[in-house]
Amino acid sequence: MLSLQNAEFQLECVAAKWAADLKRDVMTIREEIRQILMNHAVAPSGEPSGVKFVNVFEINLELRKRYGSPPMAGR
């Protein structure tokens, strides 16, 4: 699990890499990934005001389903 805040911190880098590999607009990819994060964010205590987390494995599965194989590092 990763806090939603930490996932959002990494969003720019992740979106830039996917956009470059897919040859798509980075802002569009960023917003799509942000929506994925929001849709998967949960507060473990069940309280709406609690700190939200995302399951990194679930996010990676969703990204792979939407965009295909993950971008290769260093390309």
Residue 45: predicted pLDDT: 75
Cβ burial, residue 18 (10 Å; 0-12/13-18/19+): buried
Domain extent listing, the chain:
2-67
Predicted pLDDT at 69: 84
pLDDT in tens, 11-67: 999 999 999 999 999 999 999 999 999 999 998 876 767 789 999 999 999 999 999
Contacts (Cβ under 8 Å, ≥6 apart) of 58: 40
